[in-house]
Amino acid sequence: MDIFQQILFVAVLAATAWYITKRVKLIARAINLGRPENRSDHPDERLKTMLLVAFGQKKMFTNPLVGIMHFVIYAGFLIINIEILEIILDGILGTHRLFAPYITPVYPLLIDVFEVLAFGVLAVCVVFLCRRFVARVSRLQASRHRELRGWSIPDATLILSAEIVLMIAFLTWNASDSVLRDRGIGHYGELQGIVPDFLISQYLKPLFTGFSDTALVAYERTSWWLHILGILAFAIYVTYSKHLHIALGFPNVYYSDLQPKGEMQNMPEITKEVQLALGLPVTTEVDGAQANDNGEQPAEIGRFGAKDVYDLKWINLMNAYSCTECGRCTAACPANITGKKLSPRKIMMDTRDRMEDIQRGWQTHGDDYKDDKSLLGDYITAEELNACTTCQACVMACPVNINPLDIILQLRRYRVMEESQAPASWNAMFSNIENNMAPWKFSPSDRFNWADQVNEPVTK
């Protein structure tokens, strides 16, 4: 590699690193808009969950074939990119296959593994495109799910197509490099006897036998640049894409809720008020501040529930950025299945869209940017929230432990507690629970009258 290519490579690498750092800081700032919540408990259990669910794709294996394909494309793409280290060093130092002379026995085996995974990623990407546009899987169709009618489907198509191009560039680069090595041309020939043909790319070598030496070197350099520039461009693009879950999936699962799925958290603000009303010691934290022995709360209560992303917890906002829009939550949602407007996937997409709009405001108008919009009303409607049955189906279905229900509950609590906008049937139920300790309007003393009828003898 000549000095010009080295300088160009270092400049591109530095620009990419600068831009990704800028985007990461912006995304981190958006996530930190949420309220604090401690998720550092039980680190051993969290690590185990992360390895099984995020890396091992455990929840995907309810459908073994789909689970295997997802594991190949997810783990495979991550492992393949280990080779980027050598490519980056080659680009900076002007070397070629820097590690090959130093780890001669292991190097061919590593590249063979990378090639097998690359072929697997390529094949799975083709299958996934076919599932979208040939088999037309229902949960992936914009005609059936209104939240997919924007950039979602082109985004998925672009990423899958880009991965196919990257894998082809990787395999053909190795093939053309092998032909140059066989011909003993320049620094390629210096690796004769050190680097053998590789497992998959050796079958692509006949494609290049008719190339002249000059054309072959040109192709090898083009495929090398295409592969590394494609990966750098991919790294930038995912910070704008739903495929950000490639990076955030691991921390998102690590910090996911360890409580039983059917358990709903009480609102600390309400618990405090109940404790004060009953004359009990106030021990509940509100907005991260601990009440003292006299029940005095140093932190001011913002509002009950959540109206905007500022009122949600930081983990809710990380959930939104970790969503890959696969639609498994919506496909499992009984409200959606029965024709209601609720789509858990849309809840997560709307939350992310709200944060992206705030980010654009920061960049255009400065760090103090505020607008008149809110997540509740401008992005998510009351009709969607009221359709939720809190059955937890969406939570159980998500491959990376995202919890749309938590956002729904917080928004719904705001409507009930702050705006008094609960449906009339809900108010009747609330009243019955308060007065009768049951959702039904009858005295607690009559609660087991049905059992008397069960025990009555059957008359013919």
CA distance 11 to 22: 17
Whether residues 240 and 274 share a domain: the answer is: no
Alpha-carbon gap, residue 454 to 18, rounded angstroms: 73
Same domain, 249 and 329: no
Q: By the 8 A CB rule, do 2 and 94 touch?
A: yes
- Find the helix or strand (DSSP H, E) in which 289 lies: strand 289-290
Choose the final residue of a domain: 222, 254, 286: 254
Q: Which of 89-103, 188-202, 264-278 has the lowest mean pLDDT?
A: 264-278
- Displacement of CA 34 from its chain's centroid (Å): 17
Tell me, yes or no, whether 244 lies in a domain: yes
Going by the DSSP 8-state scheme, the letter that residue 55 receives in this structure is I
Domain boundary among 254, 280, 310: 254
What average pLDDT does the segment 213-237 reach? 95
Give the burial class of 135: count Cβ atoms within 10 A of its Cβ; 0-12 exposed, 13-18 middle, 19 or more buried: exposed
Please report the pLDDT score of residue 208 as a whole number: 96
> Which helix (H) or strand (E) is 449 found in, with range?
helix 449-455
In a domain, 152, yes or no: yes
How many structural domains compose the chain?
Answer: 2
User: Is residue 189 located within the same domain as residue 236?
Assistant: yes
pLDDT surpasses 90 at 62 = no
SS3 285: strand
**pLDDT for the residue numbered 82:** 84
Q: In this structure, are 215 and 277 located in the same domain?
A: no
pLDDT the model gives residue 130: 96
Distance CA 375, CA 143 (A): 25
Q: Kind and range of the H or E element at 290?
A: strand 289-290
Residue identified by tokens 């702050």 is 418
What residues form DSSP beta bridges with 35?
313
Domain identity same for 273 and 408: yes
Instruction: Print burial letters for 250-287: b (CB count within 10 Å at least 16), e (below 16).
Output: bbbbbbbeeeeeeeeeebbbebbbebeeeeeebebebe
Residue 150, in any domain of the structure: yes
Which residues fall within 8 angstroms of residue 24, CB to CB, at 6 or more apart? 239
In a domain, 369, yes or no: yes
- The answer to whether residue 205 sits within a structural domain is yes
Confidence grade of residue 294 (pLDDT, cut at 50, 70, 90): very low
Whether residues 328 and 226 share a domain: the answer is no
Q: Final residue of a domain: which of 254, 282, 307?
A: 254
Range of the domain at 311: 268-443
Whether 118 and 179 map to the same domain: the answer is yes
Residue 455 tokens read as: 């025990």
Determine, yes or no, domain membership for 24. Answer: yes
How confident is the model over 407-413, as a mean pLDDT?
Answer: 96
Q: Are 430 and 412 in contact (CB under 8 A)?
A: no
| Arithmetic mean of pLDDT, 135-144 | 94
